[in-house]
A and B are shown apart, each in its own frame.
Chain A
């Protein structure tokens, strides 16, 4: 190559880089602006967090299966309530399905427990399963963008704006509680019953039960708990409040959890 041409290209390259970088460097030095994204995500909670409503520090749920066994159709009401309040779509096929809370038989809910010579009632029981909002969630460990994260009140939440749809969290969840939007969900949401106060999601993101964080902020109970009325089938509350109803229920009843040996410390307990 001609030496002069080479020098020209070197100078051109350097001045292009300088020209592109100078305004950004200027901005940074003069206005002291940092990227809003980095600022907001890195725990701006340190200064800004004050809970709007006192929601407690460790939310948990007890499911009393004895009540569900006695009342047929009650569990279905919970599923319908949840899926209606959160605009969960119904695609009509198993491949694309999205479900936040649903019923499964005993052997599928409690794979770690013995299935030999079960008592008769367990044969016909179906158990509601939902995201356990684990204390030690493998899905949060797996997420490469912190799109799923653990809040201070114990809820494992999803930020649908940040999710890149890699589905690593779905592989990580030991309970199979996460669903993916394989296609646009809007056409499959029941127009008659949709909830205008809660957004739908877009295709390409993972979703799951959110312990009704939006309802809790308004002082309401989670939709599934509300659907059980005053049957006492589901108890929801703060584990760290020693006077709460949930603590009383846990103290007085033998409860089991799903796959306890994995160390995930789920927040959902079952009274069989």
Chain B
């Protein structure tokens, strides 16, 4: 191979760098996130498994329903009505962003910008 003495080591370094995330934490998935559930309430508007995978889609659907279609029918769970809203619905129970929302978001390295606009329940500017 022409210039082989540069290419082979170069390729090895490249493969090592490219696969760095895989072998650095080999086998160790890190500490699993433990989002703190709200006290006194057992049921959310949807099952936990669905929420884990699709809460973002749910919020998008809610927004279109509320804003575009004018459908603000509250969701009833165990006789309690919840508004279709992040600020005035979800966060009425899930009050602590750090102990609930951030647990999984930080683990997955996701930075949703919801709270740039939507207020937190106990927010001080």
Interface residues in chain A, defined as those with a beta carbon under 8 Å from any beta carbon in chain B = 36-37, 40-41, 44-45, 48-53, 55, 149, 151-153, 157, 159-161, 186, 189, 191, 194, 196-197, 199-202, 213, 217
Tell which of A41, A53, A194 touches B64, judged by Cβ atoms closer than 8 Å. Answer: A41
The docked-state distance in angstroms from the alpha carbon of A203 to that of B23 is 40
Contact A45 B119 (CB under 8 A): no
Contact B70 A151 (CB under 8 A): yes
**Apart from the given pairs A36-B61, A40-B64, A199-B87, 14 other A-B contacts in the complex at a CB distance below 8 Å:** A41-B68, A44-B64, A49-B70, A49-B71, A50-B71, A52-B72, A149-B68, A152-B70, A153-B70, A161-B60, A186-B116, A189-B125, A194-B125, A196-B123
Tell yes or no: B108 within 8 A of A by CB.
Answer: no
Interface of B is mostly: helix
Residues of B49-75 contacting chain A, CB below 8 A = 57, 60-61, 63-65, 67-73
The docked-state distance in angstroms from the alpha carbon of A49 to that of B66 is 9
Contact B65 A196 (CB under 8 A): no
Contact A51 B117 (CB under 8 A): no
Pick 5 A–B contacts, CB within 8 A, sort by A: A45-B69, A48-B71, A50-B71, A186-B116, A200-B116
The docked-state distance in angstroms from the alpha carbon of A157 to that of B125 is 27
Interface of A is mostly: loop
Contact A199 B117 (CB under 8 A): yes
Chain B: how many interface residues by the 8 Å CB criterion? 22
The distance from the CB of B84 to the nearest CB of chain A, in whole angstroms, is: 10
Interface residues in chain B, defined as those with a beta carbon under 8 Å from any beta carbon in chain A = 57, 60-61, 63-65, 67-73, 87-88, 113, 116-119, 123, 125
The distance from the CB of A192 to the nearest CB of chain B, in whole angstroms, is: 10
Residues of A with C-beta under 8 A to B73: 50, 52
Residue in B60, B63, B70, B125 with the greatest tally of chain A CB atoms within 10 Å = B70
The distance from the CB of B57 to the nearest CB of chain A, in whole angstroms, is: 5
Chain A residue with Cβ nearest B62: A40
Residues of A with C-beta under 8 A to B123: 196
Residues of B with C-beta under 8 A to A41: 64, 68
Residues of B with C-beta under 8 A to A201: 117
The docked-state distance in angstroms from the alpha carbon of A41 to that of B67 is 11
Residues of B with C-beta under 8 A to A194: 125
Residues of A with C-beta under 8 A to B64: 40-41, 44
Contact B117 A52 (CB under 8 A): no
The docked-state distance in angstroms from the alpha carbon of A40 to that of B66 is 11
The distance from the CB of A67 to the nearest CB of chain B, in whole angstroms, is: 31
Question: 7 nearest interchain CB pairs?
Answer: A52-B72, A40-B64, A45-B69, A199-B117, A49-B69, A199-B118, A191-B125
The docked-state distance in angstroms from the alpha carbon of A44 to that of B33 is 35
